[in-house]
Amino acid sequence: AEAAPTRLSGTWLVAVPEALTGPAGDTAAAVLRTLAERGAEVRTLRIAADAAHREALTAAIEAAIEAATGEDTAPEGVLSLLALADSDGAALREHTGLLHTAALVQALGDAHVSAPLWCLTRGAVSVARSERLQDPAQALLWGFGRTAALEFPDRWGGLLDLPAQADDRTLERLVGVLAGDGSEDQVALRPSGLFGRRLVHASLADAPLAPAWKPRGTTLVTGGTGALGAHVARWLAENGAEHLILTSRRGDGAPGAAALREELAALGARVTISACDMADRDAVAALLASVPAEQPLTAVVHTAGVLDDGVIDGLTPQRFATVLAPKADAALTLHELTRDLDLSAFVLFSGVAGTLGDAGQGNYAAANSYLDALAEQRYADGLPATSVAWGRWGDSGLAAGGAIGERLDRGGVPAMAPRSAIRALQQALDHADPAVAVADIQWERFAPGYTAVRPSPFLGDLPEVRRLAQAAPAAGDGDAGAPGAPGEALRRRLTVMPQTEQALAVLELVRTHAATALGHAGTDEVGAGRAFKELGFDSLIALELRNRLNAATGLKLPATLVFDHPTPAVLADFLRAEIVQDGSAAAAPGIAELEKLESALSVLDPDGGTRADIASRLQALLAKWGEPQAHSSGEAVADKLQEATPDELFDFIENELGI
């Protein structure tokens, strides 16, 4: 729906690439002008290519905030035009817009800016089959952004795509989205209106049905000796493939290559296994030139991929390159070198991380989103293209087992049987749909976790998700401070408890969510005093715990939460103070120290004699403090306790209790 005409308020930081030229530069100027005309105090960060790194951006952001307000006051919002640097003939393999945007996300965190970040692209998505997707390179940012929304739900605004020519009405719609409630965070702005992104079931009834696709001549399979590539090669051979070229980095030296060759030959296929870096244009050109003339290349299946997972805050340009080169760059190379050949199929193995986003996979999600966009552009140009965003394959693949597999199991993404996945691939080819997702998802487990911290209208039209919402309507309107919201309910429950019970309740909350994040059935292994690192926390599990606690408490907690508060007990103390903030402000002098003592005693398990001795000394202390005291004496003791150092307080406890 169209947003009502509205105005912006406060300071808006706008990041603009210094090198913008041509139409992209005109678009940037029009956006800046529209924001200013609509009430925003615009502070422009002009980012030079050599200054688009984390430290320089942090300094630039802090300087812009101080210049805008005269004091360190947070801006109302942040708008990034850095993705536009990938247009106007910029080198497609440099991924400038993506890398600079990732550095901006990191720098905003370092500068403690919590205002929502909105990222602008142009022609990165298509809203109809009749509209040609203009720039797959900018689609990299859409995969990355979906992951950023999961990792930084409190300071991510959304993704906005402009058409090739943005008129005044379109720019007014842009302001309407920026000034809105943020409920739609993946929006294409077009002269005909606003379009929101939705996940829907592919309707086979409406899809064009061609004769069943079968391989002929030579078929190239990248990553062909890997787990997924081997499944594809067997399927091709069973379907009558005459010649298969299987590539990998090690060629014949890859594990299992010799056995795979024999298996495929037994199925009747001629097999060539080649070592080739698919991101190396010259190497790929030489490989294609070696295809025998009597069996010309007629199909490409690009399954190659590499993982280098990590939360966005820890990603570097090198870690992006590790993932983008074998998947996105290789796909572009194959597209360019085969577009004039008479191919019957050009298949790209994408991943559902690019469709949904996935915490800890910002680089991988970007690469997959690019593959989907490239397929859509090829299809619009009349070229064969099928990009399949795969869920988790069983038995093999990058997410088959181990820690990744366990996390996906807990999150409602079980492994697919490879044979079932291959049948779905055949369906996608037969129905000529350029971009589909094929995944086994248990929505009753996946949807609540996916939307726990940040609502997602992207999933809202799926009938399975709609039924879940109807069966368990959300309390309140999603505002953490609204009556009935989990955070407010927890706050009310704690405020009627003594501080000791508060501490124990919050500690149990922390231990429960930590156990869930670790995949434990109960809290037995999550000791109050055990370090999170000792418990097995890495950056991704720490992020999951942070998101769970955000949802449970209504707070906006930092991604470094677990590292700043290294044990469940320390974290619980921090959270209790943040949640209650009861203003009785601070407890009476000495009470806080007694609370700490009681908390310490609550986790002890002394033998009978020691327990009796402790109880006796506590009773003696109680008797002493129960005696009438002169007002002035009480004030003196209170002052001493209030001003005492921790060492003095422990001395007091030792002297009085003997412990």
How far is Cα 249 from Cα 266, in angstroms, rounded to an integer? 25
Q: Does one domain contain both 496 and 454?
A: no
Residues 515-525: tens digit of each pLDDT: 888 878 888 88
Tell me, yes or no, whether 207 lies in a domain: no
Residue 474 is predicted with a pLDDT of: 45
Say whether both 417 and 308 belong to one domain.
Answer: yes
- Is the predicted pLDDT of residue 89 greater than 50, yes or no? no
| Per-residue pLDDT at 558 | 80
Contacts of residue 80, Cβ cutoff 8 Å, sequence gap at least 6: 14, 15, 101, 104, 117, 118, 119, 120
Whether residue 204 lies inside any domain: the answer is: no
51-79 average pLDDT score: 85
Domain end call among 196, 229, 258: 196
Compute the mean pLDDT over every residue in the chain, rounded to the nearest whole number. 86
> What is the average per-residue pLDDT within 333-351?
97
Tell whether the model's pLDDT for residue 289 goes beyond 70: yes
CATH number at residue 285: 3.40.50.720
Question: Is residue 585 over pLDDT 50?
Answer: no
pLDDT computed for residue 547 by the predictor = 83
pLDDT at 411: 79
**395 in any annotated domain:** yes
Residue 539 lies in a domain: yes
Which pair of tokens denotes residue 243? 């010649």
Same domain, 261 and 240: yes
Same domain, yes or no, for 351 and 380?
yes
Residue 369 falls inside a structural domain = yes
Q: Each residue of 133-189: pLDDT tens digit? A: 999 999 999 999 999 999 998 899 999 999 988 999 999 999 999 999 888 999 999
Per-residue confidence (pLDDT) for residue 595, from 0 to 100: 57
- Dist CA 105 CA 113 (whole Å): 10
pLDDT for the residue numbered 633? 46
The pLDDT > 90 percentage for the chain reads: 55
- Band of pLDDT at residue 85, cut at 50, 70 and 90: confident
List all residues 6 or more positions away from 157 whose beta carbon is below 8 Å from its beta carbon. Answer: 77, 78, 116, 117, 118, 119, 178, 182, 185
**324 in any annotated domain:** yes
Measured distance CA(584)–CA(21) in Å, rounded: 59
468-519 pLDDT, tens digit per residue, is 888 865 444 444 445 456 788 888 888 888 888 888 999 999 999 998 888 7
Residues 421 and 376 placed together within one structural domain of the fold:
yes
Backbone angles phi, psi at 518, to 5 degrees: -85, -10
pLDDT at 530 over 80: yes
**pLDDT band, very low/low/confident/very high, at 604 (cuts 50, 70, 90):** low
Helix (H) or strand (E) holding 169: helix 168-178
| Mean pLDDT, residues 428-433 | 88
- Outline where 554-629 has alpha helix (H): 561-564, 568-580, 591-602, 608-626
Range of the domain at 157: 11-196
User: Is residue 103 located within the same domain as residue 182?
Assistant: yes
Does residue 363 lie within any of the structural domains?
A: yes
Q: Provide the number of structural domains found in the chain.
A: 5
Q: Which two tokens stand for residue 434?
A: 């350029």
Q: What is the pLDDT of residue 87?
A: 62
